Amino acid sequence: MLQCAGCSFHLLTRLSMSSPSSVNAAVSSPQVWLLSARWFLTLGAFSACTSVVFSAAFAHLPVFAGGMPTAVQNALSQQQFHSLGLLFTGLALRVFGASRWLQAAGWLMLLGLLLFSFNLYARHVLGMHALRALVPWGGAAWIMAWLVLAMGLAQGSEKINRKA
């Protein structure tokens, strides 16, 4: 049992002092899945918040005095959309329970945010062009996230239909 409901410190401490077989059991436990649902919900809300902050801030940056580039506008809209996807993934984990498909969908959405949106922000605001080639991989991560999410939802709805 976890000592605190949702406390990642106690979970990590327990996992680090456990045998490999108990680690596998602990990772598949419902508490871990609820913790991941909470992370996706929190990160989705935080990402939505930062997209609004970035949108307002970018409108006033001197570097965008001549207008915001289309790539940055696209990055902002994609961040807003996929923040909702993260929230939806967290909710799906809460409703359907443990699912590696849903878990993978959440991590792929986060990866897409980093590789696509935040990479474009760094490129246009900070002038960092080193990771430019990773932008398409962010889009691919998002495509995979939605496909994997569909698989997880299909699998989860089968579980619920079998119970009914």
Predicted structure pTM score: 0.76
Predicted confidence band of residue 29 (pLDDT cuts 50, 70, 90): low
- Rounded Cα gap, residues 153 and 157, in angstroms: 6
- Answer whether residue 86 shows pLDDT above 80: yes
Domain chopping of the chain, boundaries: 30-163
Give tens-digit pLDDT for 104-136. 999 999 999 999 999 999 999 999 989 999 999
Give one DSSP letter per residue of 116-163, joined into a string: IIIHHHIIIII---TTGGGHHHHHHHHHHHHHHHHHHHHHHHHHHHHH
- Answer whether residue 13 shows pLDDT above 60: no
Indicate the angle between helix axes 135-163 and 100-112, nearest 10 degrees: 160
pLDDT, average across residues 30-46: 83
